[in-house]
Structure 1
Amino acid sequence: MALDVPYRSIPDMLLKRVAATPSGKAFAVPTADDTDIKWLTWAEIGERVRAVAAGMRELGVGLEDRVAILSGTRLEWILADLGVNVAGGATTTVYPTTEPEDAAYIVADSGSKVLVAENPQQALKLAGADTSVTHVVLIDGLADASALPPQVTLADLEERGRAALARDPGAIERYVKEITPEHIATLIYTSGTTGRPKGVQLLHGGWTWEGVAQEDLGLFESTDLQYLWLPLSHSFGKSLLCGILHVGVPTYVDGRVDKLVDMLALVRPTLMCAAPRIFEKVYNKTVTTAVGEGGPKAKIFSWAVATGKEKVRREQDGRPVGLALKARYAIAERLVFRKLQDRLGGRLRVLVSGSAPLSRDIAEFFAAANLPIMEGYGLTESSAANFVNRMGKLKIGTVGQPLGDLECRIDEDGEVLLRGAPVMRGYHNLDAETAQVFTSDGFFRTGDIGELDSDGYLTITDRKKDLVKTSGGKYIAPSRIEGMFKAVCPYTSQVVVVGQSRNYVTMLISLDEDAITAWAAGGPAGGKSYEEICCSSEAEKLIAGYVEELNQKLNRWETIKKFTILPRDLSIEAGEMTPSMKIKRRNVETNFAKQIDEMYSGTLVQM
């Protein structure tokens, strides 16, 4: 049955939200001293977006003209993005961590006419670059009167827009009337684990479909309070924004990841979406703290986790929990899990994970702590949200069922194929690449290997191109093994399994700096630097025990024969991670080729 989408465009959806709940809470921001939060109503958001849109028109932005936003997640990002769309333009997103060369490439390739930069330092990334930018809008900082292209602050742009609307009060409605579901709303460049990023053309029709489809999940409700910290440069963030507009979810906006734990306690959200790395860090901190305390506390923690996981297993299998287990679980929650719940604000109703695979074991841990994570799945090319688990219908290890009327089939080689409204028009200026990723009957080739069960739940095995085939002819799914190790070893930051065309499998491991430093304190490695700890014999002995534990869970041909602890964490700056925290395997293997060669030359101890 076709999903009923009652909007022509994102601006149409915004104007209807403002009209429906003008005095309702829309977005909140932190106060200057981080001791409180300040709410803006939908009427206030609507007024500011109108001003930005009219200001963009004054700068020459018209239908489908691109405007690049180079900023971290903050309220002004949302105002600029919606303002661009209301003006008829399309937003080109650029991560604030993007290096100048790549930022310049994206802005130039997209043909962006205007750049919205968080501050003068971000604007400098385009210095000397050959682009189509005619104006730079600064969110923070003062405009440089002598700069070329000319600079204007966002506050000044809004003032220009208000003056324009005073002269022509009906302008916004005319702009919005021009925009159809088939117009481009967003040009998002894939962070890509290989090669140059490609501009993905996403339409208003796909984004409004996302907004409506999310309401049917039971995950987002107008009575919720959402904590939005995800990068809005990522399609996951934009997808959430569409759900916010349609459902009217009050949302606190704060992209400062280093403030996340502190602000969770203050904001006390009921809903939060995150990438797996956030859940991994919470898991690492919880487990290493409990183990570090030792004695009775560590035993109580282990008992509580075992009790919680037994309850989860029975629920997953459809078996009754039983009165005795319910009683034990109530004690476990009071003694152990309540502390974790309180650390996350104490009111979380829904956690959603996306953008990368979530370890099954970590998902089971959070479910045991009565913080079930609804894992989902999607790609930039399909507007991010395609499959997700529902409340009360969680199947751990799967990414849930499809949203709305999205069609999915599994190809003969196991590749997941998608067709429907949220799928992209194509890659910007790349007709041949676009043709390659669509089947003759219009299904998009995701590049992921997966399985659909009889209830429509999708399980993703791995990226098609990431599957490793050993010299013995056995196929191995790296992400599955990597996820298992992250759950086994709470000191892990990142893991990369190596084995393509090799006669055995090895692993590169980077350690979580906070967790391993806390472990080292008081021991022989205490007081040493992070790099020194990583290179120490004590750390190697510690991790070897966890690798041995992992191997007991693997098939013989998958077992890790050797491993190397890296002297530093993988990073975006070194080209080893995408901004959405996916591993760039080829770059990692290039950067650490020496360590890999040593694992295959017999110089390291074999497991």
Structure 2
Amino acid sequence: MTDFTSEALYTVGERETVISAARDFAAEQPDAVSFHRPVNFEWTTVTVSEFLEEAYAVAKGLVANGVQPGDRVCIMSGTRYEWVLVDFAIQACGAISVPIYPSSSTSQCEWIVQDSGAVVAIAEDSEHTQRLETFVKEGEPQEGTAHLRRVFSINNGAIKDLIQEGTDAGIEQDELDKRINDMTSESINSIVYTSGTTGRPKGVALSHYNWLSEVRGLITNPIGEACGPGYETLMFLPLAHVLARAVSYTVFIGGGQQTLWSEVSTLLDAFQRSQPHMILGVPRIFEKVHAGAKAKAAEAGGIKNKIFLASEKVAIEYSKAQDSSEGPSLALRAKHLVFDRLVYSTLRKLLGGRLKYCISGGSALNPELMHFFRGAGVRIFEGYGLTESTAAIAVNFDPDNIIGTVGKPVGGNTVRIAEDGEIELKGSVVFPYYWKNEEATEKDFTEDGFYKTGDLGKLLPTGHLKITGRKKEILVTAGGKNVSPGPMEDILRSAPLISQAMVVGDDQKFVGALISLDEEAFERFKKENGLPANTSVREAAKNPILRSSIQDAVNEANQSVSNAEGIKKFRILSRDFSEEKGEVTPSMKLKRFVVAEHFADDIAWIYSGK
């Protein structure tokens, strides 16, 4: 058993909360710009004092609607300014926020509303509002219980209505101040329901102490520079996800500025407008940026395609050379300089031109892709964490960045590797308990207080953590070979044509893979290879050029494992995995049991040819 601890370079007082920390920051720097937001088709700035004043006004409306300290309030919305505003308003009431992904199904919403006992909900649009209004109950709840009483819609004037209702009810600031002052750092700030790759989602109770420890742990980490004054962050991941909210809190309390945007289809426009210094992404975002640039070069053909392919190779070589004692050679530096003018600078301009930090989380990013981006002048730092660790418990940073690892523990936390290879966590960001689920809480903690993550990993002598797989996802072939599918799936997903991949082979003679195609990349493939526009994936699956491209990706993945663990056969699926069908979580993690059930015939084909 090995472990590594990083010293806490911060403290969290017994009476401190996220909302009190924001209040203290506003008292020190009331005119500091915290947000950029759209108003009447124009973009405007919001100072920290303006933000808190508006949050207090919304909070008074919640109080007028009977929200008491400790009550739960749901937020179901995409990433936008109002999400953060409502979140802080809930805190100002002494209440507990319960985020719901805007993509959640009706049954998922029902479980979260009922299990949390939410009394009020704020939704984004009419669709979300109607979905949540299904669970509204009239009348007073029975003693000792709670039920959903009202749903507000952001797009239908929720903020304005709440502010007016608070004014009409005569709710004073003294009421909010008392509620804020009555909370302690151990008070629960939010109940965040896990994505639920298996079974029903569990409500992770996260305290103000957890959140402030995460915020201050990141601020006192070298990477915290990106969250400070003078730095702009473009936030587009769902704020219902613990990672996005943790970074948003850190930027706000750290004195940085942020733009919140949820329209992925117009993300490049958002990059051009906000020109961020930092973004937070999941691997699929970076994979798509790379695939898009590569596809554009391939479409241009000729010399442009040759230049991009050569620049890609040089970027990777240049990045890897930076990790060597000798560093890049003069010849490599010269090539890099040429391609920087021809290719890399264009890529950086596409991302706004000022991007200095990219943080990737959620799942592993292919190291080769990370080397490409670093060689192109876009630094990506991988981190690791879970909902149960209030997002990042480890993160890489320069000059100590080791590509292929997720960095060292954030200050105030310990990472331990159990004898069976499982990653165990202990520290200030680790949650206290699952909401109304003592059995699960007891099951997931060791006797000496470490949280059992279910992930597998190892610690390097430097303290850097390397993720090697998922304990519950280990496949055991008929020959008794243990196979960790995650790393191979990460490599497969980085191929331009591939959207999702799931490695299979439990109790089988060999390892196989289910492959779904990226819709945009498939359309380009048909055009480039003279296939009719109406050709379906199933029809194209027999195309030798398409299969050869997928086989190249499989071969690359196989290089990361032994021959016995390698993928011997793959099946191209007729459709992508779907969040609506319950096959992936909102953060794009595979729900293996669901996928295996829905694509049972395709798995059978791999092993029987029928």
Q: Which residue of 1 is the match for residue 92 of structure 2? A: 86
Letter of the structure 2 residue corresponding to residue 372 of structure 1: R
How far apart, CA to CA, are the structure 1 residues paired with 2:553 and 2:283?
20
1:91 & 1:169 partners in 2: Cα distance?
Answer: 20
Asked if residue 187 in structure 1 is aligned to residue 199 in structure 2, the reply is no
Cα drift, residue 32 of structure 1 = 5.2
Answer yes or no: is the 8 Å Cα contact 2:244–2:280 preserved in 1. Answer: no
Q: Are the structure 2 counterparts of residues 423 and 167 from structure 1 closer, same or farther at C-alpha, using a change threshold of 3 Å?
A: closer
- State yes or no: 1:216 paired with 2:220: yes
Q: Structure 2: 5+ residue runs without aligned partners?
A: 1-6, 138-146
Match for 2:587 among 580, 583, 602? Answer: 580
Q: Which amino acid aligns with 1:84?
A: I
Name the residue aligned to 1:54. Answer: 60
Q: Which has the higher contact order (CA 8 A, sep 6+)?
A: 2
Give the TM-score of the pair, scaled to structure 2: 0.93
Residues 148-167 of structure 1: matches in 2 within 5 Å? 153-162=158-167
Are the aligned partners of 1:381 and 1:423 in contact in 2 as well (CA < 8 Å)? Answer: yes
Q: 2:337 aligns with which of 308, 330, 339?
A: 330
Aligned letter for 2:166? G
Post-superposition Cα deviations, 1:272-305, rounded to whole Å, max 9, x if no partner, equal 0011111111111122222333332222222222
The TM-score normalised by the length of structure 1 is 0.93
Which one of the candidate residues 275, 293, 310 is aligned to 1:268? 275
Match of 1:556 among 560, 563, 579: 563
For 2:149 and 2:591, locate their aligned partners in 1 and report how far apart those are by CA, in whole Å: 34
Pairs within 5 Å for 1:349-498: 349-487=356-494, 489-498=495-504
Superposition deviation, residue 350 in structure 1:
0.3
Residue number among 8, 16, 27 corresponding to 1:19 in the alignment: 27
Give the AA of the match of 1:133.
L
Paired residue type of 1:14: A
Residue-pair matches, total: 589
Unaligned runs of 5+ in 1: 143-152
Change (3 A) 1:329 1:225: same
Deviation track 1:119-160 (CA, whole Å, cap 9, x = no partner) reads 232121134437611222221126xxxxxxxxxx32111123
Letter in 2 for 1:105: W
TM superposition shift of 1:309: 1.5
Counterpart of 1:135, as a letter, is R
Structure 1 residues 569 and 395: alpha-carbon distance in aligned structure 2, compared to 1, 3 A threshold: same
AA aligned to 1:160 is E
Matched AA of 1:211:
V
- Aligned residue among 278, 281, 284 for 2:288: 281
Please say if 1:168 is aligned against 2:157.
Answer: no
RMSD of Structure 2 on Structure 1 (CA): 1.8
CA distance in 1, matches of 2:133, 2:270: 35
1:9 counterpart letter in structure 2: T
Change over 3 Å in CA distance of 1:327–1:548 after alignment to 2: closer
| Residues in 1 aligned to 2:519 and 2:539: alpha-carbon distance in whole angstroms | 9
Query: Compared with structure 1, are the counterparts of its residues 534 and 373 closer, same or farther at alpha carbon in structure 2 (3 Å cutoff)?
Result: farther
| Greater alpha carbon shift after TM alignment, 231-240 vs 551-560 | 551-560
For residues 448 and 231 of structure 2, the distance between their equivalents in structure 1, rounded to whole angstroms, comes to: 40
**Structure 2 SS opposite 1:567:** coil
1:124 corresponds in structure 2 to 130
Matches of 2:499 and 2:340, distance apart in 1? 27
CA distance in 1, matches of 2:573, 2:104: 24
CA contact (8 A) 1:290 1:297 kept: yes
Check whether the contact 1:210–1:242 (CA below 8 A) recurs between aligned residues.
no
1:510 corresponds to: 516
- Matched with 2:533 is 527
Shift of residue 549, structure 1, vs aligned partner: 4.8
1:163 and 1:21 map into 2 onto residues whose CA distance is 31
Q: Which residue of 1 aligns with 2:43?
A: 37
Could you tell me how far apart the structure 1 residues matched to 2:559 and 2:550 are? Answer: 15
Structure 1 CA distance for aligned equivalents of residues 67 and 567 of structure 2:
55
Closer, same or farther: CA 255–318 of 1 in aligned 2, 3 Å: farther
Superposed CA offset, 1:71-124 (max 9, x none): 111111111111001110010110111011110110111000111111232121
For 1:206 and 1:546, the matched residues in 2 are separated by 41
